């Protein structure tokens, strides 16, 4: 199939690792490991489809409520992906950026994030925005706080506060999301990129993230072809 409408920016909420593992009698951690393996294969495929920007929901602020053992396992997995396994970004020429707060993160995690951003900063084939220790409401609040500070210091006039200005104060200056996919059959957005997704198309396949493979992604892209985007017009 030829894809006429390729979304410029897609978001993926990688849900269902735990249930994927449970179904197989495995630990939740092994579900996350399978999710990470899937992500590596999937990203290669997505950029081959000429999609330029991918935002993934790797870890929300709220995910810290999970069991300490699971959080630590996930952090180890992230460090591995951002260091030893980072060849994938170099080989594919993908610039990696992070959205979220670095506060409360382990030192080795922050330094793995810094080094991956530094290592990939000149690549232009595509962008991977990793939402990490991320909250969509917090992102908007942080933008408002930065702007309010400028007004208080008389560096900005109230009349200059526009939607375009707020765009510039989000964690990364990325264009709006065109298409958001959440795996595992859950139909909610869970605080993911609220500002950037105002006119995104949504897709909720029932498969768990470790099974959301290249074929499943193409089904999602087929579905996107059928959507008529009107942005509030007719
Ligand atoms: C949600 O599934 C998944 C997460 C909170 C973690 C996502 C992380 C990965 C896919 C690992 C790879 C990512 C990177 C960036 C290396 P869940 O555990 O909530 O699943 P459940 O709803 O079935 O319990």
pTM above 0.85, yes or no: yes
Distances (CA, A) of 168 to 110, 131, 179: 24, 17, 21
Q: Looking at residues 215-227, what average pLDDT do you find?
A: 97
Residue 2 above 80 pLDDT? no
Q: Give first-to-last CA distance, the chain, whole Å.
A: 28
Given pLDDT bands bounded at 50, 70 and 90, which one contains residue 230? confident
Pocket test for ligand 1, best of 18, 27, 105 (most atoms within 8 A of CB): 18
Contacts of 216 (CB under 8 A, 6+ apart): 205, 207
Is ligand 1 within 6 A of the CB of residue 38?
no
Task: Read off the pLDDT of residues 139-175 as tens digits, 9 standing for 90 and up.
Answer: 999 999 999 999 999 999 999 999 999 999 999 999 9
- pLDDT reported for residue 231: 86
Given pLDDT bands bounded at 50, 70 and 90, which one contains residue 233? confident
Task: Read off the pLDDT of residues 30-66 as tens digits, 9 standing for 90 and up.
Answer: 999 999 999 999 999 999 999 999 999 999 999 999 9
- pLDDT reported for residue 15: 98
Q: Looking at residues 211-217, what average pLDDT do you find?
A: 98
Ligand 1 centroid, distance to 158 Cα (angstroms)? 41
Given pLDDT bands bounded at 50, 70 and 90, which one contains residue 1? low
Ligand 1 centroid, distance to 187 Cα (angstroms)? 16
Task: Read off the pLDDT of residues 117-128 as tens digits, 9 standing for 90 and up.
Answer: 999 999 999 999
- pLDDT reported for residue 218: 98
Is 63 an annotated catalytic residue?
yes
SS (H, E, C) 88-136: HHHHHCEEEEEECCCCCCCHHHHHHHHHHHHHHCCCCCEEEEEEEEECH
Is 222 an annotated catalytic residue?
no
Residue 101 above 90 pLDDT? yes
* Per-residue tokens: 223: 């579905």
What atom in ligand 1 is closest to the CA of residue 70? 18
Q: Looking at residues 19-28, what average pLDDT do you find?
A: 98
* Per-residue tokens: 192: 């993911």
Residue whose Cα lies nearest atom 24 of ligand 1: it is: 18
- pLDDT reported for residue 211: 98
What atom in ligand 1 is closest to the CA of residue 57? 7
Cα–Cα nearest to 92, from 53, 129, 126: 126
Is ligand 1 within 6 A of the CB of residue 19?
yes
């Amino acid at each position: 199939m030829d894809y006429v409408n390729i979304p410029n920016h897609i978001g993926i909420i990688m849900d269902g690792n735990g249930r994927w593992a449970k179904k197989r009698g495995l630990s939740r951690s092994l579900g996350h490991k399978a999710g990470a393996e899937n992500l590596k294969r999937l990203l290669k495929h997505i950029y081959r489809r000429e999609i330029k920007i991918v935002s993934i929901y790797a870890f929300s602020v709220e995910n810290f409520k999970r069991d300490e053992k699971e959080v630590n396992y996930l952090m180890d997995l992230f460090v591995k992906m951002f260091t030893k396994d980072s060849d994938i970004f170099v080989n594919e020429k993908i610039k990696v950026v992070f959205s979220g707060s670095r506060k409360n993160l382990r030192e080795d995690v922050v330094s793995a994030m810094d080094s991956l951003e530094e290592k990939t900063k000149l690549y232009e084939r595509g962008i991977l925005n990793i939402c990490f220790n991320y909250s969509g409401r917090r992102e908007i609040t942080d933008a408002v706080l930065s702007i309010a500070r400028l007004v208080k210091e008389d560096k900005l006039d109230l009349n200059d506060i526009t939607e375009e200005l707020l765009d510039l104060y989000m964690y990364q200056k990325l264009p709006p999301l065109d298409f958001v996919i959440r795996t595992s059959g859950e139909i909610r957005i869970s605080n993911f990129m609220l500002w950037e997704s105002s006119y995104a198309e949504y897709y909720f396949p029932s498969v768990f993230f470790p099974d959301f493979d290249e074929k499943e992604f193409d089904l999602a892209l087929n579905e996107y072809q059928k959507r008529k985007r009107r942005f509030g017009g007719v």
